[in-house]
Amino acid sequence: MKNQHLSFAHELEMLIYYSTIEIGSRRVDFFVEGKRMLRLKAVTALHDLHFAQALNYLEAYNLPIGLLINFGSRSLEFKRIFKTKHADNKK
């Protein structure tokens, strides 16, 4: 069996956009395969605030899809977050 690995960056400094204008930078928890943001939490439960924050990161980084993962509850929680207005999600 061939060993397969995903490429990723931890605490990657990424550019932030407003519309198509670069306005600064911020670190993302993990960036996988050069196209997916992972937002990690360790809270007892995910709330609307966490989903809104993850969606705002997608907007700021101009990314189509991200993953919100919570390690703080009794069982692992995860939610795929996607930006409906991103060109990659309009197929």
Length of the chain: 91
pLDDT tens digits for range 15-61: 887 878 888 888 888 988 888 899 999 999 999 999 998 998 888 78
Do residues 38 and 66 lie in contact, with contact meaning Cβ atoms separated by under 8 Å?
yes
pTM of the model as a whole: 0.75
Question: In the predicted model, what is the mean pLDDT of residues 8-20?
Answer: 84
If pLDDT is split at 50, 70 and 90, which confidence band does 1 have? low
Which class is 8-89 in CATH?
Answer: alpha beta
Dihedral pair phi/psi, residue 38, rounded to 5°? -115, 125
Among 41, 37, 31, residue whose Cα is nearest residue 86: 37
